Chains A and B, each alone.
Chain A
């Protein structure tokens, strides 16, 4: 018995000149089974693009005019090793906890949010900025920034809420971090409100 193969998955079937045997049935069944197993893996991965959501339960002090990286201490979602691609999680509480590290090459949608608590208004030129950076760099093109200036000249205090939305192309092992900076008339320092958040979600794989 000599088998022919289908063009895509190579399912074995007998020549038209063959006499059909039970081995033909066994081969075809086994090949279909393996093809379905491979297909199931693809299907499972398609619904498991991984991501993470990390936060800091406290509100760190931010020195005036100092770009400060936020170090996370908790996660509500951290799916990398259990995702369809890659074998490691995005975030580790013990190793470089400021980082969200790509478990595999991917395109990601990354966001961050932080609130600056002011005890004095920032003044006319004061601002609060939140950035997402790639691989520790703080220069273009590895930084994306959102700056807000409240133009405060009165006696108002309170908080400035700022968020940023970004998209990045990452190689396996590349990492993203969130940084904040403020400047203005007061000497500071000011604190962030407890609970700054960063999220990352795979959008596509190569």
Chain B
């Protein structure tokens, strides 16, 4: 004859019972399992899904238009979130809010730039509706104008809700096509998970 605790249903003998080694086993195993679960929670709390990477070389050049920044160096990515330079949300992640950012410097590969041209850092995102399965796209961007003073420098950040999401860092440059512009080496792309969205 035994009873169980009200919260965790751990078996224990009644005072009228003989002590049974099975009771010790049940108690030890249940406590061990609960402590394992709690430790996992606390360890995960200081290790949220996160990554940081950067580019080791200038991107290809463009006169006017858009191009992807090649993030080829991993600074922090224990969960393997950077896939080919893009952020690929893990399939096991529920719909979640992510804080995402890109810092990039523009360099001139050739020609003379035109003051006032449009220079932009951008992060293209894609997410899936967990109910309908339909995908939708989004765009984070920050724009400045060309100063022809040694390269524009931009940081773009945002909080986005993603499910089975993707994010791609890039730049855009619109205006005169006389000069070749590129994203300079050392562009940083990062994100970390803030929490479940629903």
Contacts and interface: CB of A to CB of B under 8 A. Distances in A.
Contact of A49 (B33, B46, B99): B46
Contacts of A24: 21, 24
B111 interface: no
Interface of A: 4, 6-9, 11-18, 20, 24, 28, 31-32, 35-36, 38-39, 42-43, 45-47, 49, 84-85, 107, 109, 124-127, 129, 131, 139-149, 151, 164-169, 183, 203-206
Given A9-B35, A15-B21, A126-B147, 4 more contacts: A9-B32, A127-B149, A140-B184, A144-B103
A42 B20 CA distance: 33
A28 B21 CA distance: 12
B157 to A, nearest CB: 5
Nearest to A145: B153
Given A6-B28, A124-B115, A145-B153, A18 B192 contact: no
Contact of B21 (A18, A36, A145): A18
A141 B185 CA distance: 7
Contact of B73 (A129, A141, A142): A141
Interface of B: 19-22, 24-25, 27-29, 31-33, 35-36, 38-39, 41-43, 45-48, 50, 52, 54-56, 73, 75-76, 78, 99, 101, 103, 105, 115-116, 144-145, 147-149, 152-155, 157, 184-186, 188, 190, 192
Contacts of A183: 149
Which of A8, A38, A125, A204 has most chain B Cβ within 10 Å?
Answer: A204
A125 B147 contact: yes
Contacts of A147: 144, 147, 152-154
Contacts of B73: 141
Given A125-B148, A129-B153, A11 B21 contact: no
A165 B101 contact: yes
B21 to A, nearest CB: 5
A169 B24 CA distance: 46
B46 A45 contact: yes
Contact of B27 (A28, A35, A124, A168): A28
A35 B149 CA distance: 61
A203 B192 contact: yes
B46 A205 contact: yes
Contacts of A142: 186
B138 to A, nearest CB: 19
B190 to A, nearest CB: 4
B145 A203 contact: no
Nearest to A163: B155
Nearest to B142: A146
B192 A16 contact: no
A127 B33 CA distance: 60
Contacts of A8: 32-33, 35-36
A31 B184 CA distance: 57
A12 B24 CA distance: 9
17 contacts: A6-B28, A8-B35, A9-B36, A43-B42, A46-B43, A107-B50, A107-B192, A109-B99, A125-B115, A127-B147, A140-B184, A141-B54, A141-B56, A141-B186, A203-B48, A203-B192, A205-B47
Contact of B20 (A11, A20, A46): A20
A141 B188 contact: yes
Nearest to B18: A20
A166 B29 contact: no
A140 B107 CA distance: 12
A35 B21 contact: no
